[in-house]
Amino acid sequence: MPERDLLGPWLRRFLTEFIVTERNLARNTRASYRDTFRLFLPFASRKLRKPVDRLTVRDLASGLVLKFLSHVEDDRGCSVRTRNQRLAAIKAFARFIGSRDPAHIEWCGHIRAISSKKTMQPSVGWLTRSEMEAMLAVPDRKTERGQHEYALLLFLYNTGARVSEATELKVQDLSLAARRGGHDLATLHGKGGKIRQCPLWPETERALAHEIREREMDAPVFVSRLGTGFTRFGVYRLIERCAAQVPALAGRTITPHVIRHTTACHLVLAGVDINTIRAWLGHVSISTTNIYAEIDLTLKANAVALCEVGQQRPGRSWKEDKDLMAFLKSL
């Protein structure tokens, strides 16, 4: 069997060369693509009763892909969003093969014709200023551990950083120069290798200056009680624990991304233009940031409703409107 028909060589090139070297996709995106095929290939092997290393490109027909997507939703209990992510990875793989081998263009077209399922846009969860201040008040700043936790929470709120951006922050990424007439800045390394700078509040600068004292330049800024850098799980666990101690947040799920939403919404309510917020959060497209603009419009609509003057008068029944009935009959 020609090697160009076997699935294995194509998949190796796709996962180790194309998405890493040519596309330079984010690490989490690479992991998502890898995990898709770690699930898909054993599924295809079982359905086709064929060893994984003998699978061909054309074995992954559109019908098999649809069965796999149903398996993801029904058997594994995943959401529609996850189902669409798995499909996006398979489509990217098909596009990669189709662009390099004309013999597989027709197969590629069948795979790319599979539609994503429509999903409901989740509502933006965010905290009010008082709720965020209550979260910041939870860590006991009289202790070393409490100071670490307070600095991390304050940094997330100040910058709207993603979890990965906070956990990967190094001492060398901080520029604490306001006392010398400059600006206090944090350099964040975002998705896809994109870099942006966020200004820091004086309070954030003080907390971070205390954190990084006597640290090496390549050391992490945020460390756990064990002295090692915070992990993603550690940040999630910290925020979950702090939220549990705020009565106003009882029954709500508070995550690092909720704090990111909080930063954006507070910027909107402060009158910051949406394009500045896009750059602040590191969004590629402004359409991603536009969800926060709706927050302000909703608040304005609620305010107008509260200030409405007078009550609506009961109108006449449509049956009593003789002119209307005559109009309808004339149509």
Rounded Cα gap, residues 99 and 71, in angstroms: 29
Residue 86 confidence (pLDDT): 97
Q: Of 86, 260, 261, 278, which one is the catalytic site residue?
A: 260
Q: Of 13, 47, 91, 191, which one is the catalytic site residue?
A: 191
Residue 252 lies in a domain: yes
Better-scored residue on pLDDT, 304 or 209: 209
Residue 311 confidence (pLDDT): 53
Overall number of domains in the chain: 2
Residues 6+ apart with CB under 8 A from 110: 61, 62
Hunting for tokens 């796999």 — which residue is that? 68
Residue 120 lies in a domain: no
Better-scored residue on pLDDT, 25 or 305: 25
H-helix or E-strand containing 184?
A: strand 184-189
Does residue 240 sit in helix, strand or coil?
helix
Does residue 228 sit in helix, strand or coil?
coil
Same domain, 64 and 203: no
Q: Which residue, 56, 78, 112, sits at the end of a domain?
A: 112
Residue 250 confidence (pLDDT): 92
210 is catalytic: no
Same domain, 163 and 47: no
Does residue 199 sit in helix, strand or coil?
strand
Q: Are 73 and 80 in contact (CB under 8 A)?
A: yes
239: amino acid identity, one letter? I
Residues 6+ apart with CB under 8 A from 34: 15
Residue 323 lies in a domain: no
Number of alpha carbons in the 13 Å side-chain half-sphere of residue 204: 24
Same domain, 169 and 283: yes
Residue 326 lies in a domain: no
Stretch 148-157: mean pLDDT, rounded? 95
**Structural domain containing residue 240:** 129-305
Q: Decide if pLDDT at 177 tops 80.
A: no
| CA 23 to centroid of chain Cα atoms | 20
Residue 320 lies in a domain: no
Rounded Cα gap, residues 331 and 153, in angstroms: 65
CATH number at residue 148: 1.10.443.10
Stretch 29-50: mean pLDDT, rounded? 94
104 is catalytic: no
162 is catalytic: yes
110 is catalytic: no
CATH number at residue 75: 1.10.150
Residue 240 lies in a domain: yes
Q: Are 185 and 199 in contact (CB under 8 A)?
A: yes
Instruction: Give the percent of the chain with pLDDT over 90.
Output: 63
Query: Which range in 120-124, 281-285, 310-314 is most confidently predicted, on average pLDDT?
Result: 281-285
Same domain, 146 and 102: no
Same domain, 199 and 84: no
Residue 122 confidence (pLDDT): 65
Residue 331 lies in a domain: no
Nearest to 68 by CA among 101, 90, 93: 90
Q: Of 83, 148, 162, 278, which one is the catalytic site residue?
A: 162
pLDDT grade, residue 325 (50/70/90)?
low
Q: Which residue, 112, 139, 171, sits at the end of a domain?
A: 112
